[in-house]
Amino acid sequence: MHIAWNWGIFFQPAPFGDTTYLGWLWSGFLMTIFLSISAGVIAFIVGSFFGILRTLPNRFFSIIGTAYVEIFRNIPLIIHLFVWVYVIPEILPESMKEWLFDLEPSFFIFLMATIALGLFTGARICEQLRTAIQSLPAGQKNAGIALGLTLRQIYLYILLPNAYRRVLPPLTSEMLNMVKNSAVASTIGIVELSKQASQLLEHASTPYESFIAVTIGYIIINICVMKTMQYIEKRTRLPGSLGGK
């Protein structure tokens, strides 16, 4: 099969947006990065919070953490996206609903997608942190109690620093998955990298060039994520612990 490559298509003017087709892909590339970073911050904070709740010696807090995990881990991401865009705003207090609907439409969609993707990924981070905390030797917590530390201090100064070191490798995988999951946000109108590729295909009929470019874009983003996480892991490694030298 002969393929008539047309790489020059990227430098031709796009039918709208006062840019080129390459400009379309670049804006989608940036949107994927912004969405992934914003959702990653939410996922880390929320996942850490509920991960801690699940390990506290309090059944009520543990149930809350478990409920969060079961809801967000067992429902497909695309359902969460549609719920946050079309259902959640309608059940909010009137003042908050008016504030949301007064936002610029594209920012409203971005905000809802960020929250949905962040909470969805946070459920997985929650379980990873819970496992990491529970895998620590019991002597660490007992030593903190012997020193007269409060439970908050034990978590803050002993358990969490060691747990986060253990959770860094699986956390890297979650960050990579989140970048890939950001493509699902195109179903609610987020014009990210894969959506821009679809638009390019629709208007320029260049499937091979479009999706090769998108593939390269995702590879670049994921390599940056991996290198960043490897750097963090190297900087936080303790000698004699978890492979530290």
> What one-character-per-residue DSSP string does 21-82 give?
HHHHHHHHHHHHHHHHHHHHHHHHHHHHHHHHHTTSS-HHHHHHHHHHHHHHHSS-HHHHHH
Report the pLDDT value the prediction gives residue 2, as an integer from 0 to 100.
64
Report the pLDDT value the prediction gives residue 243, as an integer from 0 to 100.
46
Closest by Cα among 64, 36, 38 to 51: 64
Which CB contacts under 8 angstroms, 24+ apart, belong to 80-84? 80/116, 80/117, 80/119, 80/120, 81/112, 81/113, 81/116, 81/117, 81/184, 81/185, 81/187, 81/188, 82/187, 82/188, 83/116, 84/112, 84/113, 84/115, 84/116
Q: Give me the phi and psi of 13, to 5 degrees please.
A: -65, 135
User: Is the distance from CB of 63 to CB of 70 less than 8 angstroms?
Assistant: no
Closest by Cα among 207, 51, 46 to 114: 46
Encode the chain (245 residues) as per-residue pLDDT tens digits.
Answer: 566 777 888 888 888 778 888 888 899 999 999 999 999 999 999 999 999 999 998 899 999 999 999 999 889 999 999 999 999 998 989 889 899 889 999 899 999 999 999 999 999 999 999 999 999 998 888 999 898 899 999 999 999 999 999 999 889 999 999 999 999 998 888 888 888 888 887 877 778 888 888 899 999 999 999 999 999 988 888 766 554 54
First to last CA, the chain: 54
The residue type at 29: F
Read off the pTM.
0.89
For the beta carbon of residue 241, count every other beta carbon within 10 angstroms.
10
User: Where are the extended beta strands (E) located within the chain?
Assistant: none
User: Is the distance from CB of 199 to CB of 93 less than 8 angstroms?
Assistant: no
Report the pLDDT value the prediction gives residue 104, as an integer from 0 to 100.
92
Q: Both tokens of residue 127?
A: 């379980």
User: Is the distance from CB of 5 to CB of 208 less than 8 angstroms?
Assistant: yes
Task: Determine the length of the chain.
Answer: 245
Q: Cα–chain-centroid distance for residue 216?
A: 20
Closest by Cα among 5, 25, 21, 1 to 209: 5
CATH number for the domain running over 24-236: 1.10.3720.10
